[in-house]
Chain A
Amino acid sequence: MRRHPLTDRPSRGGATLGLALALLSAACQSADPVAVSAPPVGVRIAVGTAPGETLAFDPAEIAVGSVVPVTVTFRNHSSVAHNLTFTDGLSAATRTIVEPGTFDELHLLPPSAGSYPFVCTIHSEMAGRLVVGGSAAQGS
């Protein structure tokens, strides 16, 4: 007796179709790796950019009162791409290209109290700093 392959037994066709779709998905996906990390508990700080084409962080200076884990949410309100990249004492950066209207988060643990400068590496005149143990705009 002939049994119907799609109804009467585990479907070999389904597996083949799944393989084809997996190949299709692989072919059409970006090759960029996606880094996933669990954010540490800590102080949250929001940093934006000025709207339009003004090249500035807003605020340009942020602070936390003590050495604690910090989550910085960088939101690009501008009409051009930016990023937020620490340049001295901290190795942390958002995506290189944070497109207008999008955001990125970075998680960091300052090694000690002090001042940590950051820039936009696309627009080197955009600069700011994170003050740890200072008194500028404090995170919550």
Chain B
Amino acid sequence: MSLWIRTLSGRRIAPILSVAVIVAATIFAACQAATAGPPRTIALETLNDSGVTGTVAFSDVGGRTRVDVTVDPADNPDMPAHIHPGTCDNLTPQPKFPLENVRNGNSTTVVPASIDELFAGDLAVNIHKSNDDLKTYTACVDIR
């Protein structure tokens, strides 16, 4: 019995190589699946006539959550962004989870909490105007 495996193009490859490729492909697929949970997306509300609109998407990454913030216009300077306890109407100043600054309209952060924990209530995503004007909020959304 031949130990060689014939590919679709008719070429033969050694069994040990075939196993290596199959294992690598399986792990590759698993890694992709770990970051490909269906996102839950909510829309930011504009604050203080900033004109800033956008969305926040939450995706499962193995029990933690990838938070993707997208805002328009995208040409703002660095915009600090955080997940705060409370609601947009009554925000606790101390953030629970810092997010990467929004740069060129985008920010991506993996936070150490599950989507269910984030959506359990009493948390909000808040976007600040800039590093040197943290007190001005440009957009916010309650996570629910």
Interface residues of A in 1-59 (CB under 8 A from B): 5-6, 13, 16-17, 20-21, 23-24, 27-28, 31-32
Binds B, one of A81-89, A102-110, A132-140: A81-89
What residue in chain B is nearest A82 (Cβ atoms)?
B98
Interface size on A, residues (CB 8 A): 25
Binds A, one of B14-22, B47-55, B117-125: B14-22
What are the residues of chain B within 8 A of A93 when measuring CB–CB?
A: 78, 131
Whether B132 sits at the interface, judged by CB under 8 Å, is: yes
**In the complex the two chains form, is B98's CB within 8 Å of A122's CB?**
yes
**In the complex the two chains form, is A124's CB within 8 Å of B94's CB?**
no
What are the residues of chain A within 8 A of B80 when measuring CB–CB?
A: 96, 121-122
Interface residues of A in 90-131 (CB under 8 A from B): 93, 96-97, 119, 121-124
Known contacts A20-B25, A20-B28, A122-B95; 7 further A-B pairs (Cβ under 8 A): A6-B14, A16-B21, A17-B20, A122-B80, A123-B95, A124-B93, A124-B134
